[in-house]
Structure 1
Amino acid sequence: MESFVIIQLAVVAIFLYINCLMIFTFLKKEAFRTDTRYILFSQTLFPDSGLILITNLSVVLIYYQVAIHFVVCCLLSVIMSLLSIVSPLALVAMCLERYVAICMPLRHADISTPRTRNMGLLIMWLISSVIPIYVLYVSLFLIPSKFLQTYVMCSIDVLFVESWQNLVRTTLFQMYFLVMFGIVLFTYVKIMKAARAASSENKKSTNKGLRTVLLHAFQLLLSLLQFICPYVESSILHIDMLLYLKVRYSNFMLFILAPRCLSPLIYGLRDEKFSVVLRNYVFFGHYTFCFKVKQHSTRCTQLNLSSAFNYHLE
């Protein structure tokens, strides 16, 4: 099992480093901070980074049998619950933004305004808060006050005194993700129709938007599968403890870490403008960028940080 922990820590360190680079890139460029698609992208980077860090800490504490104060565990569990919903909702919002940009290009500028963007972010965080508030309120109502002073092995399971609490939470999660998956499927179908009807010069952009939506749907599917994991783990627990620990670590890597690690790869590195600026920061402003000048010729230049964003990639 020690090897599982080492692999987990290595994966977490790599993707946290990548996320931090992308967050730095987003914050340093005003053009990114004022563009709806990049703002929504940041709403996956920040929650995903926080969730990866906290869940990794929780898993390591459980593995090494380290007990923490119940109130601290309660706070961490509520934050994890909140962050686990915000990021998928941001993915859905990104799909809707691509749908509007591709299928309603003339209305995109009117819909994607600072006011509507701020309202959308507020609604997104309010929706994400429903389940954490439910978990916190019901748990504090049912848990005896003397238990609040104890030390526990931190898991969200310690907040559930009655079996129906976890059942209600899981049902709400599944409803959330099924609705979100339905919205993503709707945007995919609409963009696919637009791709078929698009002219040859617009087809490249439309097809890229189609692939992005499809990858986001895959992310949501992985996130949805994590709610099946507790049932599988509970069945294995009665068979073999060692196998149970291995399955739990595998589920953590596949259905919690993996969906959160895909966002930088899907959106950040695939986005042309963002990836150019990101590479300049990675190479400290000495990134050599090649772009087409004519149909059969290519020009390469060493971009500095201030000019990288202004180049248009073919």
Structure 2
Amino acid sequence: SSTCISNHPPAFLCLFFSCFSMMLYTTQLHSNITVELQFQGLLERLIISTLTTVLCCVFLFINVTMLFTLRSKPVFLETSRYVLLYNLLFADTAQLVQSQVLYLLAAYRIKLTYPLCGTLSLFANLVTVVSPLTLVVMSLERYVAVCYPLRHAAIITVRNTAVAILLVWTFSSLSVLIRVFLLLRFPFDDLESLQMTDFCSAVAMLLGPLADDYDKAYTCILFVSAGVAIISSYIGVMVAARLASADKSSASKARNTLLLHLVQLGLSLSSTIFNPLLAVLSRVIPRLLLVRIVNVFYVCIVISPRCLTSLIYGLRDQTIRPVLMSHLCCRHS
């Protein structure tokens, strides 16, 4: 009967099975109950994984359409903020695909080898760092546009933007190289097999205390630095907006954009604390409830923010909106 309670079937079924097993004491009945409960668990996983996959596919369609839109017109290719937006959206889309792959592997209890999981987790670390750094560059671009409008065209060129994007990916790659070095220090030869005993995740690949300490320190420094840069840009725009020489409309739009960047940074940070938060919750709540909380957190913290960039920028920007809507509706603009 305790098994029934933990899996929450209808109450009358629990009572029926409990009383019947007490009267007959037969192993066959217990076997039938076990099979039914396992089927219910599989059915629940199948339904939830299908729903999340459908939602993920919808978001992927929107993101890919947005990426196509940002390559469909010369104005998008020749404007720095659209080039930066493309880079941000590309990183978010890559995170979305990688997260869904790991989610499905865990949902169907498929365990990978350490080399394969390490490759997936290192790729996740790469694109995870790209997003906040791109937000910083986008914030600095808005700051220059408002505070130095006469020099904006000379400073924020497509060439300089490409250099900034290259630096962002280079910095992210250096972090990945350090993680590779830390993984190579782990004594894999002492393991009986390279087959993982747990499901693949970024946390599962933090092998050893040094790798865990590096991950925490790097994440903290990265997001604090990005937050300071965006907030400083916001303050600079606020100061410029109070000057008589500043373009009030431009300053107001830039201020709203920087607030949006700050919210996006917070969402990126929330996805990085997803696994540590679950580790804390696992100590205080039952496993079945934890699994259901994981599903809710996964949709709200991991999947949804990866699509917000497309929706927010696509609907906010007067230049992108008509082209994006045309492509979403499969019309030729």
Normalised-by-shorter TM-score class: 0.7 to 0.9
The match for 1:294 is none
CA contact (8 A) 2:143 2:237 kept: yes
Q: Work out the CA distance in 2 between the residues paired with 1:226 and 1:54.
A: 13
Q: Aligned to 2:150, what secondary structure does the other structure show?
A: helix
- RMSD, matched Cα: 2.3
Unaligned runs of 5+ in 2: 1-43
- Cα distance between partner residues in 2 of 1:266 and 1:193: 26
Does structure 1 residue 251 correspond to structure 2 residue 288?
no
User: How far is 1:157 from its partner?
Assistant: 3.0
What are the superposed Cα offsets for residues 45-99 of structure 1, whole Å, 9 maximum, x if unpaired? Answer: 1111111011111011011101233322111110001111101211111111111
Residue 80 of structure 1, aligned match among 113, 124, 137: 124
Q: Which has the higher strand share?
A: 1
Question: How far 1:33 sits from its partner (Å)?
Answer: 1.4
CA contact (8 A) 1:26 1:42 kept: yes
- Judging changes above 3 Å, is the alpha-carbon distance between structure 1 residues 282 and 236 closer, same or farther for their aligned structure 2 residues? closer
Indicate the percent of aligned positions where both proteins have the same amino acid.
30
Please name the residue that 1:15 is paired with: 59
Aligned to 2:6: none
SS of residue matched to 1:132 = helix
2:153 paired residue number: 109
| Superposition pairs of residues 149-188 of structure 1, within 5 angstroms | 150-152=194-196, 153-188=199-234
Match for residue 112 of structure 2? Answer: 68
Partner of 1:206: 251
The one-letter amino acid of 1:69's match is: T
CA distances 1:200-253 after superposition (whole Å, capped 9, x unpaired): 9x4333222211110110111122234444343223223311122233333333
Q: Which amino acid aligns with 2:265?
A: L
Partner of 1:159, secondary structure, is: coil
The Cα offsets for residues 162-209 of structure 1, whole Å up to 9 and x where unpaired, read as: 133112212111110110011110111112223333679x43332222
- Does the CA-based 8 Å contact 1:71-1:148 persist in structure 2? no
Rounded Cα–Cα distance in structure 1 between residues aligned with 2:192 and 2:73: 45
TM-score, normalised relative to structure 1: 0.83
Gaps of 5+ in 1: 287-304, 306-314
Given the alignment of the two structures, is residue 218 of structure 1 paired with residue 279 of structure 2, yes or no?
A: no
The structure 1 segments of at least 4 consecutive aligned residues displaced by more than 6 Å after TM superposition are: none
Which structure is richer in relative contact order (CA contacts within 8 A, separation 6 or more)? 2
Return closer, same or farther for 1:163/1:49 CA change in 2, 3 Å cut-off: same
> Cα deviation per residue 1:104-153 (whole Å; 9 max; x = unaligned)?
11010110123322221121111212332222211122141475963333
| 1:5-64 deviation per Cα after TM superposition (whole angstroms, max 9, x unaligned) | 344223312211111111111122222112110000001111111110111110110111
Q: In structure 1, what residue type is equivalent to 2:174?
A: V
Count of residue correspondences = 286
